A = this chain, B = another copy of it.
Amino acid sequence: MASRIALDVMGGDQAPDSTLRGALAACAADNPRRLDRARILLVGDEAVIRAKLAELEGVGLGSGDFAIQHASQVIGMAESPATALRSKPDSSIAVCVGAVKKGAAAGLVSMGNTGAVVGAATLGLGTLEGVRRPAISVTLSLTGKPVTLLDMGANREAKPQDLVQFGAMGAAYMRDCLGVENPRVGLLNIGSEASKGTDLLKEAYPLLEAEKGRINFVGNIEANEIFDSVADVVVTDGFTGNVVLKLLEGFSAFMLQLMLGELRAHQAQWGKEALGNLKKRIDYAEYGGALLLGCKGVVVKGHGRSDHVAVANALAVAARTIDSRVNEHIVEGLRAPTV
């Protein structure tokens, strides 16, 4: 089925429990973004999947109607991606990519080994027409207004032209999937002037300026401004992006710990609700995972720690990205002449 989503059942720290529960949650009757079960292709060890689904039926979670595709191998979270992809051609990740390549699915969702997912998707699917390199795109909705950051680590290094394309791809995603009109694209830098930053950024700045007809480039933005809603899309190279992502992850976990400590020390009755709200705002599970933009096919990479809520959100992101035809719009945008 052309709009089907292949789910890597075996990938992630809590797989296959989290992934199968996630698939069920994505299709639950009370889910406002409910997906039809026929849209999900479960990929992994078929015996394990069937046994686990039967167990979940036992606890009242109906399991019928999912399509299942067997994959005999699993790539571990800590394995070297290149080696694992070579030695395990029938891994659940590779089979998911194969399903998209063959047209049996339009997209895939994995909580597994990031390097393996990015590698398998980039090599197996290839890039969209006109796209030089795919980029990992993460949408944060910390402030209530979503901000999409890319590249968060698909590429170790980038060329100025790559940054321009990242801006175009991020803008297409924000427009199509999140309904942001004319998304503002900022370049992550250490100062606002065009002359600031590394050689890469100094070269990318005028290229982005020259694309103003199709990219709403608002100039350099500094890292603290990510929280000020001055841009809808923040473009950076994969190294810096990965540092930013991990820093946010580590710092938010640390802050929550610190708050819990203060609450305990003061025997405060601030309550679970308030803390829950905070956690929700800064929690990974709510983002629904990162998109690998620029591949021929929709690729959603969730966090290894994802629980079933995160898996269900990731499936919803994949469905929305497929349905809103982001990839077509990326190709059209890159093909159009600069106005």
Contact = CB atoms under 8 A, between A and B. Distances in A.
A222 B156 CA distance: 14
Interface in A202-259: 222-228, 239-240, 242-255, 258-259
Q: Interface residues of A: mostly helix, strand, loop or mixed?
A: helix
B271 A271 contact: no
Given A197-B156, A243-B223, A270 B281 contact: no
B278 A250 contact: no
Nearest to A241: B190
Interface residues of A toward B: which range?
Answer: 35 or more
A266 B270 contact: yes
Contact of A258 (B242, B263, B281): B281
A259 B227 CA distance: 15
Contacts of A224: 246-247, 249-251, 253
A198 interface: yes
A265 B270 CA distance: 11
A301 to B, nearest CB: 15
The list of the 3 closest CB pairs from A to B, nearest first, reads A224-B250, A223-B246, A223-B247
Given A240-B243, A268-B274, 6 more contacts: A223-B247, A224-B249, A224-B251, A243-B244, A244-B247, A266-B271
